[in-house]
Amino acid sequence: MNKISEVLLNRRTIRKYSEEAVGDDILNELLTMACRASTTGNMQVYSIIITRDDAMKRELSPLHFNQKMVTEAKVVLTFCADFNRFNKWCLLRKADPGYDNFLSFITASIDALLVAQTFCIAAEAKGLGICYLGTTTYMANKIIDVLKLPKGVVPVTTITLGWTLEKPEQVDRLPLEAVIHYKTYSDYSIDRIEMIYRDKEERSDSLQFVKENSKESLAQVFTDVRYKKADNVYFSNVLLQVLKDQGFMNQ
């Protein structure tokens, strides 16, 4: 295996970090590599907020539901969809920016996620550990306040970064044929759904999960415990308001 396949095939999310510093040199090297990611029209409609300061991490922590990685990781990076900088440049050059709409938010989010994921691969290749925080989109309104994000800027994901202090078991993935379609989408029959999810459901950690949560099935752990409809609807409305407030729903 060459290095890139080794990194990609052996990676896992890391949630425990050592006390060892993550220096500015390595961080800048990773950021430089990440910013080589593809970007829509080479506009780079993203920004990355670096948090190293303990007091700021403590402010961010409750906004990430007190997940301990926020205060324990050496660096917290918030990746934002950002049309603010590009809009300002356009206005300065007598160009009329038409980026106050939902499509532009998606465009900038894609840019931000591509740079985030490239950063993660670069970090993992250097032996660092990362964890994404999905809480960013749930609490975007409050994160905007703490990080002082202006109009045109919305946080879309957060990554915690540090030298790894654990080597957890790799978690499962669905078989490749579950997610790949040739030529056109081939919709899933009941038999295929049974087959695709069987291994996942029969894993001992899955069975334990179901038991601990007093549920009938693993799917119920997702729908009734981890990602509930009521929470999704609530945070969806919060996020829609954020998009309005940050100027992405003006068309």
Binding residues (CB under 6 A) for ligand FMN: these are 12-13, 15, 67, 131-135, 157, 171
CA distance 139 to 10: 31
Task: Give the residue nearest to ligand FMN (CB).
Answer: 134
| The token pair that represents 216 in the structure block | 């009938």
Q: Which is nearer to ligand FMN, 65 or 102 (CB)?
A: 65
Shortest distance in whole angstroms from residue 173 CB to ligand FMN: 7
Q: Which is nearer to ligand FMN, 45 or 133 (CB)?
A: 133
Shortest distance in whole angstroms from residue 87 CB to ligand FMN: 26
Task: Give the closest residue to 63 by CA, choosing from 154, 147, 151, 119.
Answer: 147
CA distance 173 to 154: 30
6: which residues sit within 8 A by CB, 6+ positions away?
none
The amino acid at 137: T
Residue with tokens 């994404």: 132
Q: Which is nearer to ligand FMN, 150 or 175 (CB)?
A: 175
Provide the β-strand partners of residue 49: 78
Shortest distance in whole angstroms from residue 140 CB to ligand FMN: 13
Q: Which is nearer to ligand FMN, 13 or 141 (CB)?
A: 13
Q: Which is nearer to ligand FMN, 95 or 225 (CB)?
A: 225
- Own/partner pairs, 174-179, CB within 8 angstroms, 24+ separation: 174/200, 175/199
Shortest distance in whole angstroms from residue 35 CB to ligand FMN: 20
Shortest distance in whole angstroms from residue 208 CB to ligand FMN: 15
Residue 126: what are its φ and ψ, rounded to 5°? -90, 0
